[in-house]
Structure 1
Amino acid sequence: MTESVHRFYESNRSAMESSMRHRLDLAETILRERAHLSDIEGIKHEVMAEFDLVLTQLPYVGGSENRMSNFFMRLIGFLAIGRVLRRHGVPLAMIGDIARETLKSQGLAVPEAERLAAGRQFLSPENRALLGKQAVMSMTEDHRKAFPDDFAYEFVEPSPGDNFEFGINYTACGFCKFAAHHGDKEILPSICGLDFDDYATRGIHLERTQTLAGGANHCNFRFSRLKPE
């Protein structure tokens, strides 16, 4: 029996597929010149087919009521890219480089004013309040029972002398759970590596010294405004 895509992701499928195609177009040069792949159109078709499979595997974690749904929708496609490139013999380190450079290019394609406005909104008191509420929700027993494949995290207020505006400690990672379920552990670091450039394109500095994927008991995200160069 063919697995279906959850209706929430199905309703966003067109936008996700468009984003994937854009990424693949941006990755074309590096795939050819550094990964030494010749049939780029064939690779693109293979990735999009793999993405169709990934969508059927993607767990529902609450839809628009949960901010982590957006993280899944924005980044899970890189596991589809990683699976295909791994099958074609591309080294894991290069897969990570391709993912980071592609996401950075995609982020920088957004007008600067729009990107920086998104960064200011992320760091705003209003968003901090929302993050705090969603962090509490993510740790409740009811939520974890309803959405066992979701992230779980704690909101971190800075102490006197800290040089960050706020932090998040992820004690459970949806991407780690997904990778464990579907055999993607070796390409999981390519997802973890996306965070720094992803936030930087929006004017946000991320400091993180450990990850669940790397064996730590939590991922320690710390956010502040990116200083002008």
Structure 2
Amino acid sequence: MAETIHPFYEKHRGAMEAAMRHRLDLAEPMLRRRAHLSDIGGIRREVMAEFDIVLTQTPYVGGAASRMSDFFMRLIGFMAISRVLSRHGVPVPVIGEIERETYKAQLLTVPEDERLAAGRQFMSPENQALLREQAAQSKTSSHRDAFPEDFVYDFVEPGPGDDFEFGIDYKACGFCKFAARHGDKDILSNICGLDFDAYATRGIRLERTQTLAGGASHCNFRFSRLR
């Protein structure tokens, strides 16, 4: 295990820690009611200490030049929450429910017009062009050699009869690689469950019928606009 945080994540550490503290604030009622935990202060300290460990384990996948860096920064903290709650005997499905509701509540603190503007930007032709470019790059041997822990994916164009605007097929997942390396496979599905609300709160409909974490050959993300 690495003992230091990559400079890219160190630069963003303050914002990531603030987001974690906010999540724990939002999660507190559910931790008491659903997880039946009483020492919330102790849980908070454990989670933040575990988050320090998770940060040293988070792989560098290109920094600002890679769209997947943002996914790690936004979601990797849930690994710390899952680890701590699992150690306290909270069932994995309950952990997943708490994390998904907490994340949705956190996302909804962003004003609606900002969220919907972000969704329009994601669905825009300009962003689709970027996705095509980065998807092609993710599969090159040079990129995979430089960032072996990164995601690998294809951009998917809709065919005749399809009702989505575009899709992404993830052939290799950075979170799956992280979980395999650090013994987190039992809590990995909780990360997958966060995707639907992340897109829905921005006005985007995500359809996905299979995941790498669930044993499929790829994760089939399909995107369209919510009416």
For the aligned pair, the TM-score class normalised by the smaller chain equals over 0.9
- Alpha-carbon deviations, 1:81-114, whole Å to 9, x = none? 0000000000000010011001100001100000
Q: How many residues align?
A: 227
Task: Tell me the amino acid that sits aligned with residue 133 of structure 1.
Answer: E
Q: 1:127 maps to which residue?
A: 127
Query: SS at the partner of 1:169?
Result: strand
The unaligned stretches of length 5 or more in structure 2 are: none
**Inter-partner Cα distance in structure 1 for 2:63 and 2:2:** 22
Using structure 2 for the length normalisation, give the TM-score. Answer: 0.99
Per the TM alignment, residue 160 of structure 1 is displaced from its structure 2 partner at its CA by 1.8
Per the TM alignment, residue 161 of structure 1 is displaced from its structure 2 partner at its CA by 1.3
Task: Tell me the amino acid that sits aligned with residue 194 of structure 1.
Answer: L
**Inter-partner Cα distance in structure 1 for 2:171 and 2:9:** 25
Q: 2:143 maps to which residue?
A: 143
**Inter-partner Cα distance in structure 2 for 1:72 and 1:31:** 24
**Inter-partner Cα distance in structure 1 for 2:16 and 2:135:** 26
Segments of 4+ moved more than 4 angstroms: none
Query: SS at the partner of 2:37?
Result: coil
Q: 1:220 maps to which residue?
A: 220
Whether the 8 Å contact between 2:152 and 2:170 is mirrored in structure 1 is yes
**Inter-partner Cα distance in structure 2 for 1:197 and 1:6:** 29
Is 1:157 the counterpart of 2:157 in the alignment?
A: yes
Per the TM alignment, residue 221 of structure 1 is displaced from its structure 2 partner at its CA by 0.1
**Inter-partner Cα distance in structure 2 for 1:47 and 1:20:** 9
Q: 2:5 maps to which residue?
A: 5
Q: 2:46 maps to which residue?
A: 46
**Inter-partner Cα distance in structure 1 for 2:2 and 2:153:** 34
**Inter-partner Cα distance in structure 1 for 2:53 and 2:97:** 24
Using structure 1 for the length normalisation, give the TM-score. Answer: 0.98
Per the TM alignment, residue 2 of structure 1 is displaced from its structure 2 partner at its CA by 7.3
Question: RMSD value over aligned CA atoms?
Answer: 0.9
Task: Tell me the amino acid that sits aligned with residue 105 of structure 2.
Answer: S
Q: 1:191 maps to which residue?
A: 191
Q: 1:201 maps to which residue?
A: 201
